[in-house]
Amino acid sequence: MKNIVVIGGGMLGLSISLELSDHGVNVTNVFPRTGDTLSASRAAGAMLGAFGELSADDGAEEMAEFDFRLSAQRYYPAWLARVRERSGARVSQVEGTIIIANNQGARDRDCIRRMEQEAVLRGEPAEWIEPSDVPGLKPSPVHAPALCLHLKNEHAVNSGELLDAMELALGRCNTYRHLDKSVLRASPDGLSWAVALSDGTTLVADAVVLANGSRSLECLDPSLVEDAALPALSFGKGVSCLISGGPAIAHTIRTPNRTFACGIHLVPRPESGELYLGATNFTGVDEMAERKVQPGELHGLFDEAIHQINTDIRTSRIEQIRVGFRPIAAFKRPLVGQTRVPNLYIATGTYRNGVLMAPLVAAMIASELGLCVSPYQGNPFSVLTEQKQNGWDVERLLDVGVRDLVAFIQEPRSPLPYSRARELETYLRTLLQAAVYQDASGESLHAMIQSRLKEAPFNETVHKLFYEVGDQARKPAAETAEV
Ligand SMILES: Cc1cc2nc3c(=O)[nH]c(=O)nc-3n(C[C@H](O)[C@H](O)[C@H](O)COP(=O)(O)OP(=O)(O)OC[C@H]3O[C@@H](n4cnc5c(N)ncnc54)[C@H](O)[C@@H]3O)c2cc1C
């Protein structure tokens, strides 16, 4: 393959362009530099989090991704050194992450313990430390963390500097050219590809790599998406901020993942004296409709950071607010490598971990193009294999989803009294299961609710049903149920 078009100029597009150019391929990298403010890569806190992204419920599918993340984390230092050397540019890195677990996160303690166990198993440093020994940690007393874990090898980079450095390195490479345009359509033409651009011109290439984030499928005709057996893409909108005049912190401080998002985190940017504060997560499919920031998103972000990390954040100054769209594919599984359509490759679906994964993904793409031996054995994210929902059966999806939903309902500061959060979980899960499955337990629930409402037709019955529905919680018979 001599001429390859790489679509996208985020972490994925640039890492892949760099890798392919290094192997002597003529790369035409198409992405709009001007006016594109929605790149996930530029909005990212860019934590290189293998362990910090673990959740207590992670099953086989997530652990396969975790293994990849850990390899990507170990691959990073040499790769980053190469980018720095090739570009001659600064790419700042903050060493180490402190994970904090408090009572605000329903599963914080389970998550942090899982992180520690997995780190010990894999010979990575993980040390319990006293909250008072964490530089810059000063939460409201009611939100004091119960546990703090120092992950010394879990760093963060400045993603803006990194992207700029990659562009500089690529600019020095005579097998690379950037076109400041958008791709409208990529279509096969025999074994070659015709790539139609926004200025009306068309490129001809031997292969195309789709690496334009959450919009990676928009350049293909829908019939081609089907031929390539590519699952639909959506996004997780993320809002983050840069603040100045905040407290001095030495390492990244973050909570575990919570309520459909990556927890609250503060990443120091010593090079500018600023702090990065992230991040929200809300899924959707229409980037243009969601490109603006909602006050509620900022409210949630700052409420958590001020109360759970450092109360002095309230007197800092907001320097920048960013929005980015994390690419998500079915089962939250990345999509990497050759597709079923000849000479069409994809690298996306990296969701919350694209900055970390990009360099290793780029090496895998180069290896699938026959340019090198992959530093990672196998491809857990291949789109050639059948997309299985390992570890994400409907039962588990409802379980984890309802639990996170109930936690989300209580954010940022309205915890439910008594045991109502757990009761609400049971209630919602039971109703949702009855709605999803067509089986005997759904029918008996339906009959029970009907008969109660008939027996006692007044609103107080709904209160009673809150408990009675919970008592009817389904037995684990879902495997045999029809969905
Ligand atoms: C708030 C936030 C925090 C995050 N924190 C972390 C973190 O701490 N650690 C981590 O590893 N990951 C993090 N992520 C996730 C990570 O940023 C993403 O997984 C990763 O950046 C995705 O990179 P990408 O190159 O695929 O997409 P993007 O960065 O979104 O880039 C897409 C590129 O494609 C271009 N493009 C789009 N359409 C076209 C077209 N038609 N033609 C040409 N070009 C096109 C765009 O202009 C852009 O250059 C975070 C994301 C967000 C939003």
Q: Which pLDDT score, from 0 to 100, does residue 107 have?
A: 84
- d(CA 262, CA 276) in angstroms, rounded, equals 14
Q: Cα–Cα distances in Å, from 211 out to 15, 52, 354? A: 10, 25, 11
Structure tokens at 121: 């198993």
Q: What is the pTM of this model?
A: 0.90
For residue 420, the CA-to-ligand 1 centroid distance in Å is 39
First to last CA, the chain: 45
Where do we find the tokens 């900055």?
355
CB 331 within 8 A of CB 59: no
pLDDT under 50 in the chain at which residues? 477-483
Q: Please compute Rg for the chain using Cα positions.
A: 24
Q: Which pLDDT score, from 0 to 100, does residue 483 have?
A: 43
> Which of 159, 326, 360 maximizes ligand 1 atoms within 8 Å of its Cβ, making it the mutation to test the pocket?
326
CB 29 within 8 A of CB 178: yes
For residue 40, the CA-to-ligand 1 centroid distance in Å is 3
Q: Which pLDDT score, from 0 to 100, does residue 481 have?
A: 46
Structure tokens at 239: 């809002």
Q: Which pLDDT score, from 0 to 100, does residue 323 have?
A: 95
Domains of the chain, CATH where assigned: 93-157+234-330 (3.30.9.10), 394-480 (no CATH)
Q: Which pLDDT score, from 0 to 100, does residue 350 have?
A: 97
Q: Give nearest CA residue, ligand 1 atom 4.
A: 44
- Over the stretch 161-175, which tens digit does the pLDDT of each residue have? 999 999 999 999 999
Label residues 443-470 b or e (16+ Cβ within 10 Å = b): eebeeebeebeeeeeeeebeeebeebbb
Q: Which pLDDT score, from 0 to 100, does residue 236 have?
A: 95
Q: List all residues whose CB is within 6 A of at least one atom of ligand 1.
A: 7-13, 30-32, 36, 39-41, 43-47, 182-183, 211-213, 215, 218-219, 238, 240, 278-279, 324-327, 348, 350-356
Structure tokens at 434: 């009855």
- Over the stretch 337-381, which tens digit does the pLDDT of each residue have? 999 999 999 999 999 999 999 999 999 999 999 999 999 999 999
User: What DSSP string runs through 8-62?
Assistant: --SHHHHHHHHHHHHTT-EEEEE---TT----HHHH---B--SSTT--TT--HHH
User: What DSSP string runs through 307-318?
Assistant: HHTBGGGGGSEE
